[in-house]
Amino acid sequence: MKQAGSGRRASQDGVQPERQSVSVAEARELILGAVSPLGAETVPLTAAGGRVLAEDVEASISIPPHDNSGMDGFAVRAEDVARVPAELAVVDDLPAGRRARRKLGPGEAARIMTGGEVPEGADAVVMIEDTEQAGEGRVRVLAPATPGQHVRRAGSDVRPGLHIADAGSVLRPAHVGMLAALGRTVVGVAQRPRVAVLSTGDELVEPDRLADDGRIVTSNSYNLQAALREIGCEPVYLGIAPDDPDVIRARFRQALQCDVVISTGGVSVGDRDWIKQVLADLGGQMRLWRVRMKPGAPLAFVSVEGRPVFGLPGNPVSTLVAFEQFVRPALLRMMGHRALYRPVVPAILDEAYEKPAGRLHFVRVRLEERDGTLHACPTGDQASNVLLSMVRADGLAIVEAAATGAAAGARLPVQLLHRDDLRPEPGF
Question: Does residue 11 interact with ligand AMP by CB under 6 A?
Answer: no
Question: Does residue 219 interact with ligand AMP by CB under 6 A?
Answer: yes
Prior bond of 316 cis (ω within 30°): no
116 φ/ψ angles, rounded to the nearest 5 degrees: -65, 145
- Binds Mg ion (CB under 5 A): choice among 193, 265, 308, 336: 265
Residue 300's CB is within 10 A of a number of other CB atoms, namely 26
> In this chain, which stretch among 23-31, 37-45, 59-67, 198-206 interacts with ligand AMP, using CB under 6 A?
198-206
Residue nearest to ligand AMP (CB): 314
Residue 179, SS3 per DSSP: helix
Q: Is 37 exposed, middle or buried (0-12, 13-18, 19+ CB in 10 A)?
A: middle
Residue 208, C-beta contacts closer than 8 angstroms, at least 6 positions apart: none
Cα–Cα distance measured from residue 307 to residue 68, given in angstroms and rounded to the nearest whole number: 55
Can you spell out the DSSP letters for 275-289? Answer: HHHHHHHTT-EEEEE
> In this chain, which stretch among 21-29, 43-51, 231-239, 266-274 interacts with Mg ion, using CB under 5 A?
266-274
Residue 386 or 416 having the CB closest to ligand AMP = 386
Residue 334's CB is within 10 A of a number of other CB atoms, namely 21
Question: Does residue 73 interact with Mg ion by CB under 5 A?
Answer: no
Find the binding residues for ligand AMP in span 199-218 (CB under 6 A): 199, 201, 203-204, 216, 218
CB of 266 to ligand AMP, least distance (A): 5
Question: Does residue 220 interact with ligand AMP by CB under 6 A?
Answer: yes
Cα–Cα distance measured from residue 360 to residue 334, given in angstroms and rounded to the nearest whole number: 26
Find the binding residues for ligand AMP in span 261-280 (CB under 6 A): 264-268, 270
Question: Does residue 201 interact with Mg ion by CB under 5 A?
Answer: yes
> In this chain, which stretch among 201-209, 256-264, 281-289, 321-329 interacts with Mg ion, using CB under 5 A?
201-209
Task: Report the amino acid identity of residue 297.
Answer: A
CB of 19 to ligand AMP, least distance (A): 20
CB of 203 to Mg ion, least distance (A): 7
Question: Does residue 313 interact with ligand AMP by CB under 6 A?
Answer: yes
Distances in whole angstroms, Cα of residue 325 to Cα of each of 121, 293, 338, 362, 391: 64, 10, 16, 10, 17
Contact residues for Mg ion, defined by CB under 5 A: 201, 265-266
Contact residues for ligand AMP, defined by CB under 6 A: 199, 201, 203-204, 216, 218-221, 264-268, 270, 313-316
